[in-house]
């Protein structure tokens, strides 16, 4: 039976950490739903908030319930909501958009400049209950379990980035073997890329990439990427690059490894300003696309269809904890030696 109080992970103080606290169950408006949370994923953004780095200190109001990767079920409907049902399992788009910008009015919702994020700017999903606009709800098919539903947000980042360019028959380089880079590798193989190479300096992440997807892992501290290109018989380099690391050296290596006229999609965010050798990009006629979030809702349709049609990213989840052990979950995620970490909010 629903009460008026719930437990929630709160950024309660402007310092390192999150705190489990009691909070009021959100009240929904006429166009909202109330979702009982079953599972949440820990994101790199959540690690920034836990660490309370410069970005978090400038961005996140205190106190705030954090978290934005989730799966759950609808327990209450606003009076204007007619296309969803009580008891329906769902995930949801965590970007809360405006409706008046040119981008939104053109249906390019992911480009709306008024976007606010749950768990970053607005109360989030690290709680027993979440209020979410019905517009943002994504119903979950029965064959997608809650723990996969809880990582659809980062999978959407991977899908949006990977599908930025045609991959069929192409040779693809991915820089950064974090969970999103690994899932992008799985997507690239699923849609028909020929060779997929993923680079990193973390041997644990590279081993996980090889476990999750049919890829060639390259530790750039020990291997020369050009040798891998030669071994694979790629005479001119990679056709498509997916930059997931936010590391300037990785981007430089990618540019050098691209074929003439190659295409690069960038999801990784470099810290601060980075020097770029634009002459190499110009003379190689390289196209670079910046990627933010997910295409609302085209990315969701595509990734759910791929999951229903054989895409398997389940092994990217390496750790599962009951939510009361959240500190252990964050410790594992902060170590850099895990894939996705999922917190279970269901009561035993």
Q: Strand (E) positions, 98-136?
A: 116-117, 129-133
CA distance 260 to 267: 22
Catalytic residue among 40, 45, 66, 299: 45
Q: Could you tell me which of 304, 293, 340 has the C-alpha nearest to residue 41?
A: 340
CA distance 10 to 22: 9
What would the two tokens of residue 115 be?
């976007």
Q: Are strands 172-175 and 137-139 parallel, antiparallel or unpaired?
A: unpaired
CA distance 104 to 94: 16
Using alpha carbons only, how large is the chain's radius of gyration in Å?
20
Catalytic residue among 3, 40, 48, 228: 48
Scanning the structure block, which residue is given the tokens 């601060």?
272
Residue 340 vs residues 117, 309, 313: alpha-carbon distances, Å: 20, 22, 10
Do 177 and 196 touch, CB atoms closer than 8 A?
Answer: no
Residue 215's φ and ψ, nearest 5 degrees, are -130, 165
Scanning the structure block, which residue is given the tokens 């609808």?
74
Is 40 a known active-site residue? no
Is 45 a known active-site residue? yes
What amino acid positions are annotated as catalytic residues? 45, 48
């Amino acid at each position: 039976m629903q009460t008026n109080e719930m437990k929630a992970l709160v950024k309660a103080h402007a310092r390192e950490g999150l705190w489990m606290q009691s909070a009021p169950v959100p009240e929904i408006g006429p166009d909202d739903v109330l979702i009982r949370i079953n599972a949440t994923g820990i994101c790199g953004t959540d690690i920034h908030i836990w660490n309370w780095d410069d970005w978090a200190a400038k961005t996140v109001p205190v106190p705030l319930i954090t978290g934005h990767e989730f799966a759950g079920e609808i327990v209450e409907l606003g009076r204007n909501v007619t296309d969803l049902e009580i008891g329906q399992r769902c995930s949801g788009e965590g970007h809360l958009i405006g409706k008046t910008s040119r981008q939104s009015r053109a249906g390019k919702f992911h480009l709306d400049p008024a976007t606010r994020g749950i768990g970053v700017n607005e109360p989030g999903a690290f709680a027993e209950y979440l209020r979410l606009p019905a517009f943002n709800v994504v119903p979950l098919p029965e064959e997608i379990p809650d723990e996969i539903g809880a990582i659809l947000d980062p999978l959407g980042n991977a899908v949006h980035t990977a599908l930025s360019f045609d991959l069929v028959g192409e040779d693809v380089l991915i820089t950064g073997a974090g969970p999103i880079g690994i899932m992008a590798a799985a997507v690239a193989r699923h849609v028909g890329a020929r060779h997929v190479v993923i680079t990193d300096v973390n041997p644990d992440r590279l081993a996980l990439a090889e476990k999750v997807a049919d890829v060639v892992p390259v530790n750039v501290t020990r291997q020369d990427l050009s040798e891998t290109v030669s071994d694979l018989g790629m005479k001119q380099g990679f056709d498509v690059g997916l930059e997931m690391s936010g590391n300037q050296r990785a981007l430089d290596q990618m540019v050098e490894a691209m074929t003439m006229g190659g295409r690069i999609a960038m999801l990784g965010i470099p810290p601060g300003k980075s020097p770029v050798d634009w002459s190499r990009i110009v003379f190689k006629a390289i196209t670079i696309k910046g990627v933010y979030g997910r295409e609302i809702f085209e990315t969701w349709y595509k990734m759910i269809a791929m999951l229903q049609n054989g895409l398997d990213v389940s092994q990217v989840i390496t750790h599962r904890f009951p939510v009361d052990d959240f500190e252990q979950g964050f410790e594992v995620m902060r170590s850099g030696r895990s894939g996705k970490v999922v917190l279970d909010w269901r009561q035993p």
